[in-house]
Amino acid sequence: MSATNAQWMSELPPKLWDIPLHHLSIPGSHDTMTYCLNKKSPISQNQSKLLQVLNKVFPCIIHPVILKWSTTQALNITEQLDAGIRYFDLRIAHMIDGSEKNLHFVHLIYTTALVEDTLTDISEWLQNHPKEVVILACRNFEGMTDELHQYLVTCIKNIFGKTLCPRGELLTLKQLWRHGYRVIVSYENESAVHSHKELWPGIPYWWGNKVKTDDLICFLESMKESGRPGINLTENFQYIMAHPSGSLKKMTLPSLPYLDAWVQKQCPGPGTKCTNIIAGDFIGSDSFVSDVIALNQKLLIE
């Protein structure tokens, strides 16, 4: 895997160092941690009872199908960082029968990776890339109690320390570098955000939730004023059951050239229809990350 985008933020033209971060074009990964889904994992407790029953009755049939349709990424967390991903969609959960403090990630089924280990991997990577800034979108929180939220926030503080950017300031890259801030944590739990200045409110994000490419692009155009498009094609239960031999990867890869063509037409900046974070599936399979980063050159045109 080429690491040509590993330091893209520090390599931006100096003029862009004074642009607010929310006006830059930032590549992200949808369901970041699904590269390590556990083949032996139970199905998420948030899934439909029908799916739960089918998996219990026909586990040898249903579970492999769910695994194929749950996987949205092939690169691990370090490879995604090296590829240039700076927004991470982290769906955190605590399994009913899991260890007391073991938090996993989830997308229909749970990951082998633990949250604390993954955050540590990100922190270690950032130590070697001091001018890169990441946005960690912590969400979902399936099975999480107030005590587990407190535990998770404590882990975040202990792991990232003074590199956490406190909420409230609309910072540029130059300001972030000056203060030593490298991590912005978006946390979709109002109580936790209210109690900890290191946490930012959940970032508004519009998932396409479409099976067909044309439908997804139409949706993105209609919602673009929110400035947070995610360009993932998404299956639903009916579609999965009708295509048991398929996979999300088989559905997504043929569509990538059309989706990338849409990406290349976008423009970051302060305008109401400008884009900021654009997240995708199976990053590294095409030029998606480089295309999103390249949009920043449009900010140099006056």
Q: Which helix (H) or strand (E) holds 252?
A: helix 248-252
Choose the catalytic residue: 30, 63, 94, 196: 30
Quote the CA–CA distance of 281 and 80 in Å, as a whole number.
Answer: 11
**CB contact at 8 A, 208 and 234:** yes
The active-site residue out of 63, 104, 107, 196 is 107
What are the angstrom distances between the C-alpha of 93 and each of 43, 58, 134, 152, 173? 12, 25, 21, 11, 32
Q: How many CB atoms lie within 10 A of CB 74?
A: 16
Active site residue 107: yes
Assess contact for 70 and 41: CB atoms under 8 A: no
Distance of CA 24 to the CA centre of its chain: 17
Residues with catalytic annotation? 30, 107
